[in-house]
Amino acid sequence: MSRNMQGLQPYLRVRPKLPTASPEERAFMNRALRLARYEQQRKANTVDRATNTLQRELNAAYLMRQRAIRATILPKLTKTEWEEIKVIYFHRCYYCLQPGKLTKDHVVPLSKGGQHTKSNIVPACQPCNSRKGNRPAERYRPFTN
């Protein structure tokens, strides 16, 4: 608590209604309440700033990791190679064998050291790709052996 507020502690707890209070006493009590509110707001703002700074740093670290991954892996699979992969699997999901809109799924996930190459990518529908997550394909094969 700041020095300005130390003498005002009795007035900070409860705001008594004193019909006989003089204008000076009322002004003093109002000032004490304003100072207390200001002090609380200042503390809250300090905590908010610290939280925001930490969140910004975490976001920056995440973006740096993602950029590093993309910079090292993305140019290794061409559009024609992706089309060839879909033809090999008859335009069907590798996991559920259903036709439909296909996404690229990494057999060994990028987060586990897999590469963005033709030998590591299979077509998967969005639900299967999402359910598989970052597990290797051999640990997620709901319909295939």
- Does the structure show a pLDDT above 70 at 56? yes
Average pLDDT over the chain reads: 80
Q: Report DSSP state, residue 58.
A: H
- Side-chain half-sphere of 107: how many Cα atoms within 13 Å? 9
69 and 9 share a domain?
A: yes
Higher pLDDT, 25 or 106: 106
Domain assignment of residue 47, given as a range: 3-73
The pLDDT score that the predictor gives to residue 39 is 84
103 and 119 share a domain?
A: yes
The rounded distance, in Å, linking the Cα atoms of 126 and 93 is: 9
**144 in any annotated domain:** no
Instruction: Specify the residue for token string 């740096």.
Output: 64
60 and 86 share a domain?
A: no
| pTM, two decimal places | 0.50
- CATH number at 95 reads 1.10.30.50
10 and 41 share a domain?
A: yes
- Does the structure show a pLDDT above 60 at 73? no
15 and 34 in contact (C-beta within 8 Å)?
no
pLDDT in tens, 59-71: 888 888 877 776 6
